Amino acid sequence: MALPCKTGAAFKKYLLLLAQENCEFRMPEIKSLLSVYGGHFNNLQDAHGKSPFCILNLPSEEMARKLMKRTVCAKSVFELWGHGKTFTEFQQSVLSYPLEKMMPYLQPNSTYKIIIHTFNKTFTQKEKVEKINAMEFLPFQGKVNLQNAENIFYVLEDYGSDPNKAPKEPFEIFFGRWIADGQRELINSYSVKKRHFIGNTSMDAGLSFIMANHARVKPNDMVFDPFVGTGGLLVSSAHFGAYVCGTEIDYNTVHGLGKATRMNQKWRGPDENIRANLRQYGLEKYYLDVLLSDASKPVWRKAPLFDAIITDPPYGIRESTRKTGTQKEIIKTDLFPESHVPVQLNYHLSEIFSDLLAFAAEFLVTGGRLVYWLPVYKPEYTEEVLPRHPCLKLISNCEQMLSSHTSRRLITMEKVKDFEEKDQHAHLADGQYLPYQGHNSFREKYFSGLKKRTVREERARSEMVNAENVISKRKEDA
């Protein structure tokens, strides 16, 4: 899991307290954010897959603070003073921490408090006080201030991933000085429930911020969503200071018309649109525009325009997969009259992903990132089915469960080489798009598992055979 990193005296150990949701997304987010600030991911310890504790080597406290100003997957970061698997080992580790690094926070004219944090086990207040008193081996000289302490210290205990089988003693104990909290409050303040304009597939606020962090969105970046919908992914990028734009094929969605998604509201209001969402959060200055356009037919000048492409393509579940076109052979080349309405055709998932990667390869700046969701039917999933392109490098692949047999994977790719004309028609190897071929192929698998579909097909085949037998018998009798 760890990437190589040169560590020396300038590096210090920091402890991350991670959130317990979207666990697969946590480390890729931290890696991406560290790369934004010129740091390297150096994971010294990650006890188990769902552990909330992760020890990192970071060059400075400033970088730790920068990290926490962006992350929604981490709750807090601490300057780690010591840790151990037993209390004796823990005590020795803390006492071995350089005294000259401790003393600025233990001065007589300072105030402090100690907080006990336990993972998957609860304790009474009396038991917590006993744990605090056990830290008296440290030379605290300041005064205790529980309301407004200058220095806050944490004792953190890990009791494993199963709260029903928590051991009597913790698997590991950590002690550190609190540095900063993450941006978990953004999940509530940007909640879709409070948003002015929403749709059936509006992205969860937490996931939209994770996607922006995976894409390494920075101030003054230009971020694009080719399947923008109600613009939920634009909001998170604009929050981080990026200028946002998108395209959408559905006229009603772009203009905020038609039936409302909210309960007890029949029609959308006159001011329900993507721009109003950005205005709601004071981010309207970052709104460039949203075009009524077909993602399969890019309208942009051919050049690297975007620093990041962040999108959630339609799967055919709640939103249909459509593109403009015609099944008829075009004889005339005359311009269409103004009253012409383009015909819409089925847009197969295999085409969606091949077009998306080709678009990213051509229109992303080198070093820019493509972040998108890939629906997966688990019995058929292998890494070989992941869309690939010679200009794009796979950075991370994180799974979110949808049902017992389906999930979706957040794919992050980075443009690593300039686009050339020979890359224009780069496609996957034969068979790699097989799970996504055919209209509504994923939809059918989503609503019906492979076994159910097989049983249904066998029943239909059996009924057809029986019908044929009945017909032939009647002919013989006649």
Residue positions counted in the chain: 478
Backbone phi and psi for residue 268, each to the nearest 5 degrees, phi listed first: -70, 145
What is the chain's pLDDT, residue by residue, as a tens digit (478 residues)?
Answer: 334 444 444 789 999 999 999 999 999 999 999 999 987 767 655 545 688 999 999 999 999 999 999 999 999 999 999 999 999 999 999 999 999 999 999 999 999 999 999 999 999 999 999 999 999 999 999 999 999 999 999 999 999 988 899 999 999 999 999 999 999 999 999 999 999 888 877 899 999 999 999 999 999 999 999 999 999 999 999 999 999 999 998 888 888 877 777 767 777 777 888 999 999 999 999 999 999 988 888 899 999 999 999 999 987 655 555 566 655 555 455 555 555 556 666 667 878 888 999 999 999 999 999 999 999 888 888 888 898 999 999 999 999 998 888 899 999 999 999 988 777 666 544 445 555 554 455 656 655 654 555 555 666 777 777 777 777 777 776 6
Q: Are 360 and 415 in contact (CB under 8 A)?
A: yes
Q: Please count the CA atoms within 13 angstroms of the CA of 380 that sit on its side-chain side.
A: 20
> What is the rounded distance in angstroms from the CA atom of residue 16 to the CA atom of residue 81?
13
- CA dist., res. 138 & res. 11, Å (int): 23
How much is the pLDDT for 444?
63
Q: Yes or no: say if 178 and 149 are a contact pair by the CB < 8 Å rule.
A: no
Q: What pLDDT does residue 416 have?
A: 96
Closest CA to 222 of 205, 206, 234, 209: 234
Output the pLDDT for position 456.
59
CATH for 187-328+341-446, options being 3.30.70.20, 3.40.50.1010, 1.10.287.110, 3.40.50.150: 3.40.50.150
The reported pLDDT for the residue numbered 404 is 83
User: Where exactly are the structural domains of the chain?
Assistant: 12-183, 187-328+341-446
**Of the candidates 252, 281, 251, 279, the residue with the CA atom closest to the CA atom of residue 267:** 252
Which residues are 112's β-sheet partners? Answer: 144, 151
As a whole number of angstroms, the distance between CA 138 and CA 155 comes to 13
Q: Determine the 3-state secondary structure of 143 from DSSP.
A: strand
Q: What are phi and psi of 24, to 5 degrees?
A: -65, -20
Domain spanning 12-183, CATH architecture: 2-Layer Sandwich (3.30)
| CB hemisphere CA count around 349 (13 angstroms) | 28
DSSP single-letter state for residue 247: E
Positive or negative, the CA dihedral 352, 353, 354, 360 is: positive
Residues 206/22, Cβ–Cβ less than 8 Å: yes
Tell me, what's the pLDDT at 428?
Answer: 46
Neighbours of 221 (CB within 10 A): 21
pLDDT of residue 328: 56
